[in-house]
């Protein structure tokens, strides 16, 4: 059976007031790339055919950055997540298939997670799938209310929760997979009678169920995937978890990192087999390190190319190369 066509809507219109920045929130860098790039990369790797980004604050900067990777659609007024998704209705009028909806400020989402949502949608035939996780302290997040502990009955924003609903540990991550037709039919009936006066995307759950459609959940056991960035503190927290993921991937590929706590590697860096990385080493940008190298302590490589067997210590290499077997440092710059 051939999989259904897939599209994605990435919500990237947020102002990000708490960032206190002139830069659009989704363009703030994390581990070597803007947050939005991490989300785009995960969606692209999941094989999504059509990608739309909903833009708002300084949308021209987002459009210029995204280029041909996504079609940008402006949201003139920010009236909630449901309203944001509605901006893509005309663009998807000729599309029949599944639509991923996710946020441009959640850079830890994995390709495997998007694939699991698509697999559940195809296997179950549900009109909607929500990605959820379990938190010991769910404060601040929308709660997932289940029917008798089984199927999803509704998703309630925290400001609208009852006292009992606030005790629930399963929370909404803000990432979904919908049948396109069912999504926009439900959105046409969403109102804004809530504490925020906004059009919530979560309102489609009850509307779909009333229409006789199925709505299910996929639970991720990695709660860090749902980390959304709304402040500089959030950005640092997300970067900490993403760095740990990158370092683990590099070590699993056959690289020795003496002290992960003092080693910083960007997402786009490549490191060869049997390389050893000493403390206080920073690998940035599109750096490529060959096999059997020894880096550090205290070196910084930025868009550098390091040949196999090279040694770099207490030095900076930026936009330059180091030949195979060459030794650089201490205290050099090239």
Q: Is 18 a catalytic residue?
A: yes
Laid out side by side, the sheet with 270-271 consists of 270-271, 288-289, 305-306, 321-322
Domain 253-328 has CATH 2.160.10.10: yes
Looking at the predicted structure, is the pLDDT value of residue 2 above 60?
A: no
For the chain, the domains span 6-226, 253-328
Higher confidence at residue 184 or residue 4?
184
Looking at the predicted structure, is the pLDDT value of residue 129 above 90?
A: yes
Tens-place pLDDT, residues 273-323: 999 999 999 999 999 999 999 999 999 999 999 999 999 999 999 999 999
The pLDDT score that the predictor gives to residue 149 is 63
The pLDDT score that the predictor gives to residue 192 is 87
pLDDT band, residue 1 (cuts 50/70/90)? very low
Tens-place pLDDT, residues 221-265: 999 999 999 999 999 999 999 999 999 999 999 999 999 999 999
Catalytic residue among 4, 18, 240, 249: 18
H or E element, residue 4:
none
Q: Name which of 158, 173, 150 is nearest 11 in CA terms.
A: 173
- Could you give the CA distance from residue 126 to residue 144 in angstroms, rounded to a whole number? 17
Residue 323's contacts (CB-CB under 8 Å, 6 or more residues apart) are 307, 310
Tens-place pLDDT, residues 16-48: 788 999 999 999 999 999 999 999 999 999 999
Tens-place pLDDT, residues 84-118: 999 999 999 999 999 999 999 999 999 999 999 99
Q: Name which of 70, 63, 68 is nearest 91 in CA terms.
A: 70
- The two tokens of residue 271 are 């490191």
pLDDT band, residue 196 (cuts 50/70/90)? confident
Tens-place pLDDT, residues 136-165: 999 989 999 998 767 899 999 888 899 999
Higher confidence at residue 83 or residue 197?
83
Residue 38, CA distances (Å) to 27, 66, 103, 307 in order: 10, 12, 11, 28
Residue 100, CA distances (Å) to 6, 119, 130, 222, 322 in order: 7, 12, 10, 19, 43
* CATH H superfamily, domain 6-226: Spore Coat Polysaccharide Biosynthesis Protein SpsA; Chain A (3.90.550.10)
């Amino acid at each position: 059976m051939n999989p259904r066509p897939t599209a994605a809507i990435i919500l990237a219109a947020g102002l990000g007031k708490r960032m206190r920045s002139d830069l659009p929130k989704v363009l703030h860098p994390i581990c070597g790339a803007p947050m939005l790039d991490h989300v785009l990369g995960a969606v692209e790797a999941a094989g999504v055919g059509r990608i739309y980004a909903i833009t708002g604050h300084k949308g021209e900067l987002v459009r210029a950055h995204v280029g041909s990777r996504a079609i940008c659609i402006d949201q003139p007024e920010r009236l909630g997540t449901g309203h944001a998704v509605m901006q893509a209705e005309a663009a998807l009028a000729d599309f029949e298939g599944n639509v991923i909806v996710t946020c441009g400020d959640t850079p830890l989402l994995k390709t495997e997670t998007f694939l699991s949502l698509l697999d559940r949608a195809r296997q179950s035939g549900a009109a909607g799938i929500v990605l959820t996780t379990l938190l010991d302290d769910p404060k601040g997040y929308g709660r997932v209310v289940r029917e008798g502990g089984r199927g999803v009955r509704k998703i309630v924003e925290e400001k609208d929760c009852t006292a009992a609903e606030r005790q629930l540990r399963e929370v909404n991550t803000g990432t979904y997979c919908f049948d396109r037709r069912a999504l926009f039919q439900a959105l046409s009936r969403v109102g804004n009678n809530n504490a925020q006066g906004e059009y919530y995307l979560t309102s489609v759950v009850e509307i779909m169920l009333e229409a006789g459609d199925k709505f299910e959940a996929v639970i991720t056991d990695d709660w860090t995937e749902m980390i959304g960035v709304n402040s500089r503190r959030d950005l640092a927290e997300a970067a900490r978890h993403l760095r740990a993921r990158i370092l683990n991937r590099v070590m699993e590929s056959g690289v020795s990192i003496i002290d992960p706590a003092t080693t910083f590697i960007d997402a786009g860096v490549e490191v060869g087999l049997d390389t050893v990385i000493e403390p206080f080493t920073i690998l940035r940008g599109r750096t490529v390190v060959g096999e059997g190298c020894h880096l550090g302590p205290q070196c910084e490589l930025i868009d550098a190319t390091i040949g196999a067997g090279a040694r770099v210590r207490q030095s900076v290499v930026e936009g330059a190369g180091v030949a195979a077997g060459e030794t650089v440092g201490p205290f050099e710059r090239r």
